[in-house]
């Protein structure tokens, strides 16, 4: 299958575009972390973990915790890798074989895990997204990767939903985008009010999904249809 690169000037890790920070496209066309910006060292980060362990009354030198600071920082590198990834990189490769297709494409039940920016505690669930392509379509796995890029940053669910829709809208320029995210927040289920199983649902609609109640209803019906 031959692929074409849609000429939208997407960033690559080594060649990010010069986009003003106040440009609304900025968070979609470039990774949010400037590789040249000074950051604390790994040793500094591990020392911060030791400080937190001491704060709760633990001894970071005991056998079970000796390697915990290193493990925590390694986990952070994995859980928050989205700060070093560019959304446009995964969406910029499109295919023309679907030219003539005139309905929307829906991917349902994309699992994700993110972290609440208020408590740095996990929230997890599923994202459902659809877009109405114009001439070209993007690989289905790329849309799942897009969800992970934004999820692997400190987030609110509302912003996560808007970012997914905004990136698809900005890079693919479809006739419309629909996103529904449903998630359980551990900052609500395992602390505070302790309401395990409570789901938060957020949506974002653009283009034909924003303008047409019928298309919204079709999207929601297909998302809520028979589950596997």
Known catalytic residues? Answer: 116-119, 157, 185, 187
Which residues, other chains included, contact 38 with Cβ-Cβ below 8 Å and sequence gap of 6+?
none
- CA dist 225 and 123 (Å) reads 24
Two tokens, residue 52:
């937190």
DSSP conformation class of 2: -
Phi and psi at residue 162, to the nearest 5° = -65, -35
- Return the residue matching tokens 């299958």: 1
Two tokens, residue 71:
């493990």
- CA dist 72 and 87 (Å) reads 26
β-pairing verdict for 154-155 and 105-116: parallel
Task: Find residue 180's DSSP bridge partners.
Answer: 128, 203
- CA dist 150 and 147 (Å) reads 6
CB-CB contact of 98 with 133 (8 Å): yes
């Amino acid at each position: 299958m031959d692929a074409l690169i849609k000429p939208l000037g997407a960033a690559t890790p080594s060649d990010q575009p010069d986009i003003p920070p106040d440009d609304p496209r900025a968070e979609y066309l470039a990774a949010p972390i400037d590789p040249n910006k000074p950051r604390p060292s790994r040793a500094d980060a591990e020392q911060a973990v030791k400080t937190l362990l001491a704060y709760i009354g633990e001894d970071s030198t005991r056998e079970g915790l000796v390697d915990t600071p290193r493990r925590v920082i390694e986990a952070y590198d994995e859980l928050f890798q989205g700060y070093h990834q560019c959304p446009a990189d995964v969406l910029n490769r499109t295919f023309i074989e679907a030219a003539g297709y005139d309905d929307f494409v829906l991917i349902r039940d994309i699992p994700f895990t993110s972290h609440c920016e208020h408590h740095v505690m996990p929230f997890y669930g599923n994202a459902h997204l659809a877009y109405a392509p114009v001439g070209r379509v993007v690989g289905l796995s790329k849309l799942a990767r897009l969800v992970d890029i934004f999820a692997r940053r400190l987030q609110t669910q509302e912003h996560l939903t808007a970012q997914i829709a905004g990136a698809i809208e900005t890079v693919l320029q479809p006739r419309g985008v629909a996103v529904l995210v449903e998630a359980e927040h551990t900052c609500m289920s395992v602390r505070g009010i302790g309401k395990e199983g409570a789901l938060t649902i957020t949506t974002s609609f653009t283009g034909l999904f924003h303008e047409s109640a019928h298309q919204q209803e079709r999207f929601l019906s297909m998302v809520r249809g028979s589950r596997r």
